[in-house]
Amino acid sequence: MNASKIVEAQDDPSFARTLAEADLVNADGMSVVWASQILGRRLPGRVTGIDLVDPILELAASRSWPVYFLGARAETIERATQVLQERHPHLVVAGFRDGYIRGVEAQAARTIADSGARIAFLGLPSPMKEEFFDQQRELLGDCLVVGIGGSFDVLAGAISRAPRWMQRAGLEWLHRLMREPGRLWRRYVFGNTRFIALVLKQRLGRLRA
């Protein structure tokens, strides 16, 4: 969960329902953590999708749980898979494929299920990955599906992640904005403004109450 998704959920009841029905939602944005402090429901911290990858893979490798990787371009997902197998030599990779699944979502979900994967990492943008979770839940069965956004691009070395000091300071969004200003400026300028307004409105409502 980040500020952008919270704003989108205000305008899209279907997306809001999908988020609410997830088994686990983590704060993937310092703005959400800060908002939790302002609203008196303090979250323990920020946990990004990419920060979950290695700990989960370490557990999967230790228990021989097969994993599946879906997302990014074909060459990117192939390289990311190689990198992760080098980090976790005992990892069982049930399969991988690119993220161009628009129109064939059910087929992709069936492929994951048929592979025997216990855990699937989904590197798709929002709301595409949340829709995939929601609509293909029955086909995926007991497979744990973890959304990790654009993490495969970082893992493959195609793009860089913000330096540690920027991550700790809650400035990773600024690193992304500097890297892709044309695509992200509207999201951060208008989206963040709406998010701040939503937080303030809720805070004022609680004070009045």
The count of structural domains within the chain is 1
pTM > 0.85: yes or no = yes
Mean pLDDT of 174-197: 84
CATH number at residue 166: 3.40.50
* Tally of CB atoms within 10 A around 194: 16
Express each pLDDT in 94-144 by its tens digit: 999 999 999 999 999 999 999 999 999 999 998 999 999 899 999 999 999
Domain range enclosing 204: 3-208
Contacts of residue 196, defined as CB under 8 A and 6 or more positions apart, other chains included, come to none
3-state secondary structure (DSSP) of residue 138:
helix
Please, what is the average pLDDT of the chain?
93
Express each pLDDT in 12-67 by its tens digit: 999 999 999 899 999 998 999 999 999 999 999 899 999 999 999 999 999 999 99
- Write down the pLDDT at residue 78: 98
